[in-house]
Amino acid sequence: MKIIYLANVRIPTEKAHGVQIMKMCQAFCDLDHQVKLVAAKRINRQFRGIDVFDYYKIPKKFLVVRLFLLDLVDLPLPIRGIWVFIQNTSFALSSFFYFLFKKTDLIYSRDEFSLFFLSFLKKNLVLELHTFPGSKFFLYKRVFKKVKKIVVINSKLKELVVGLGIKPDKILVAHDGVDLDQFDIGENKEQARRKLDLPLDKKLVIYTGQLFEWKGVYVLAQASQFLDGDCRIVFIGGMEKDVKNLEKFIQKKNLGKISVLGHRPPDLIPLYLKAADLLVLPNSAKEEISRHWTSPMKMFEYMASKRPIVASDLPSLKEILNDSNAVLVKPDDPKALARGINSYLKKPDLSAKIVAQALEDVRQYTWTKRAKNIINFISTK
């Protein structure tokens, strides 16, 4: 099958969706499909001159094509929402003309703007949905009806789309995934810390990913006040402005025992996870995307890393996590989060049992299995 993955994103990018898109293209290729990634031709100063395949450590099995768009979002312009709309629309129009005379078996995309325009031209469209429509509902209403299939990342999103009158058999729940081989590394905890120049004499509590407030990172920072004296929290990831905001918050609150290391390339993440005593997924319950819509890629990476997990007790996370493979704590509560971390670190037998269960559970969430499920679903009438 000839598959074009259409993505209105910067590639490479410091965001997790870059890994997800590249891994899915690789997984489709591994299933013997002919794949082309059609992405946005966007300015990305942080990754200037970096080869996309080298950055993600992925074999060059598929082509990457860049489409023109008006790249305005990162410019210091007023009324940012208007420029986002212009940028998205310009990419959608580029996509429309690109596919005007292009033949392919399948167009797979997370971009509702592009699929809206393409729905007047093509029928072989598949939408992957990571959030529920709000202000752009008029786009989704047509897209939901016109695409061949819809792939959602958790059950709540399927429930919401069905509630809009879409037949359940048109929608597949496909949670995010992980490359198990990538996280099965030979270094032990001490070796990983020496390579990364992390302290050997501390209990390291590590978080990886974006530093948005709804991710719970500010709650985790505040939890540092209640952690045992030999614990240290390490934040990995985040865009520059979010790193600065978190650092200002930590300084303002006079919080100690915290290191904010910023963005690290994907190939180093397994080493950071291996360096941890414990991994944290502190999502907030204050926003709908966190409570119901997310399927964090880091969750699967944590499970594959053979390290214990403390996570917020939220419906979105509990589609994968439970009391057998993680410790679940009250969200948005620094003291409850700290109690979970402290108690976990004092129970190595419990940690070993939960780690083993998490590793067993995550085996069903590989990128290849995800791609295979999607292809099988798309192939059914």
- Between the alpha carbon of residue 2 and those of residues 27, 63, 152, 196, 310, the distances in Å are 14, 12, 22, 41, 41
Positions of the chain with pLDDT lower than 70, given as ranges = 73-81, 134-137
Q: What is the pLDDT of residue 260?
A: 98
Give pLDDT, residue 141: 84
Give 289-299 pLDDT, tens digit per residue. 999 999 999 99
Do residue 190 and residue 160 come from a single domain? no
Whether 274 and 173 share a structural domain: no
Residues 78 and 102 in one domain: yes
CATH code at 312? 3.40.50.2000
Could you tell me if 66 and 215 lie in one domain? no
Do 283 and 373 lie in one domain? The reply is: no
For residues 213 and 275, membership in a common domain is answered with yes
Residues 26 and 163 in one domain: yes
Question: Residue 135: what pLDDT?
Answer: 57
User: In terms of domains, do 204 and 341 share one?
Assistant: yes
Which residue is associated with the tokens 């419906």? 315
Domain that holds residue 150: 2-177+366-379
| Per-residue pLDDT tens digits for 233-271 | 999 999 999 999 999 999 999 998 999 999 999 999 999
Asked if 23 and 163 sit in the same domain, the reply is yes
Name the residue among 208, 235, 214, 372 with its Cα closest to residue 300.
208
Residue 140: the pLDDT is: 83
d(CA 203, CA 160): 41
| Dist CA 139 CA 133 (whole Å) | 9
Q: Are residues 165 and 266 in the same domain?
A: no
Q: Both 17 and 84 in a single domain?
A: yes
DSSP state of 321: -
**241 and 105 in one domain?**
no
Residue 347 backbone phi and psi in degrees, to 5:
-125, 75
Domain total for the chain?
A: 2
